[in-house]
Amino acid sequence: MTGPDVLDSRYSWFRLAISLLIATVGNVGIWVIVMVMPAIQAEFGIDRGEASFPYTMTMIGYAVGNFAVGRIIDRFGVTAALSLSAAIIAGGMGLAAISPSVLLLAGLQLVIGFGTGASFGPLMTDVSMWFLKRRGIAVAITACGNYLSGAVWPLMLAGVLEADGWRAVYVWLAVITVVTMVPLSFLLRRRVPLEATARSDAISSLRAKAAGFSPRTLMLMLGLAGIGCCVAMSMPQVHIVSLCTDLGYGPAVGGQMLALMLLGGAASRLVFGFVADWLGGVRTLLIGSSLQCLALFLYLPTGGLTSLFVVSAVFGLSQGGIVPSYALVVREYMPSVEAGRRVGFVIMATIMGMALGGWMSGWIYDVTGSYQMAFVNGILWNFLNMGIMVLILLRTRPRKAVAVAA
């Protein structure tokens, strides 16, 4: 099977399944620090802002990893990139387990985050090459690995954390990463034939002309939008465990709430994937961002246990489709030869937003003594994202018209 016939084929779906497994394991590096944040704060005797610093370093490494590994995949393929990333993650986890200070832990989380970056944006880029008609749902399924990782591993390792401490959690994850990611990555050695991307690139060219933006301008606009939406997104995702601890519900309940939020996010990514195949990436992204903003408003009056669970579920169901939509917009408006670096840059920007938002929320908490103003801060950044997406949408012709022209 060669040429266009390889797109949306049975092999494409097999490749997607393997990519989802890799993403579920490979993304654990960004969630483990959220899981152990209260334990780190207690052991090192630091405040909430300082305890959030390792997470910020994780997301900076994750951001750079998405961009750098995206370029590696463009040149050497996804198998080499994933194998290298697995080694980096395992090494970082092993050293983090014996870290004597929070500063050294933060530095190691930077390394872990870099390795983890291969399992998000670069994987979405690779999967997008193998689909045309069902690209939206394929990318969404791959992106679900990020949320599944955050939902599965905190629950699976909660007993280890309680019985043996946060350092034992890192040791377990170092072993799991190597024995799963490396063998699975070798199932992805096959590369998409160049002739299979010709039709996709022709459609992308027509859409780019219709939008009226140069690729560089559109990429920068998407990057700024990504920072805005993810500063907002980071408040509940990064601090929900700490919020539950402050309210007296305990970190275990916070972990359950985070798992519920992320499972809701995974489900919504699938729904938004189908929506994206119908409406396109820009409209899907705007819908998700608007719903996320509404969910953030619902957190403001919420403090009871049941209401927090309900709002967290609503938040997860609202925002799951946002980040995958950025990859879709890039693939819809830019040629496949640029996909790795363009998607990598935009995903890097979204993750930088998560890093900035995670730190800002901790700092605002330290200044004000609560998370109320941190939620307000997230809402304001969310409005920035929505404004940029409305601007892009107003400059873009209806998607159906472009499809007819193609």
CATH number of the domain at 227, please: 1.20.1250.20
User: What pLDDT does 151 receive?
Assistant: 76
CA distance linking residue 231 with residue 223, whole number of Å:
12
User: What pLDDT does 401 receive?
Assistant: 39
> Alpha helix (H) ranges present in 186-250?
198-211, 215-246
The whole domain housing 323 covers: 3-405
Helix %, strand %, coil % for the chain, to 5? 85, 0, 15
Q: Is 97 helix (H, G, I), strand (E, B) or coil?
A: coil
The segments of the chain whose pLDDT lies below 70 read 1-4, 193-212, 335-337, 339, 396-406
CA distance linking residue 66 with residue 1, whole number of Å:
30
Burial of 394 (0-12, 13-18, 19+ CB in 10 A): exposed
User: What pLDDT does 16 receive?
Assistant: 94
User: What pLDDT does 36 receive?
Assistant: 84
CA distance linking residue 302 with residue 296, whole number of Å:
10
User: What pLDDT does 173 receive?
Assistant: 92
- Whether the CA torsion 367, 262, 120, 224 is positive or negative: it is negative
Say which DSSP state 188 is in. Answer: G
**For residue 4, what are its two tokens?**
């266009």
Q: How large is the angle between the packed helices 78-96 and 48-76, nearest 10 degrees? A: 150
Which of 293, 241, 224, 298 has the alpha carbon at shortest distance from 52?
A: 241
Question: How far from the centroid of its chain's Cα atoms is residue 396's Cα?
Answer: 26
Which one-letter amino acid corresponds to residue 391? Answer: L
Place of tokens 């990020």: 146
For 62-91, b where at least 16 C-beta lie within 10 A, e where not — what string?
Answer: bbbbbbbbbebbbeebbbebbbbbbebbbb
Place of tokens 């494409």: 12
User: What pLDDT does 194 receive?
Assistant: 61
Give how many domains the chain has, as a whole number: 1
Which of 131, 169, 164, 126 has the alpha carbon at shortest distance from 32?
A: 169
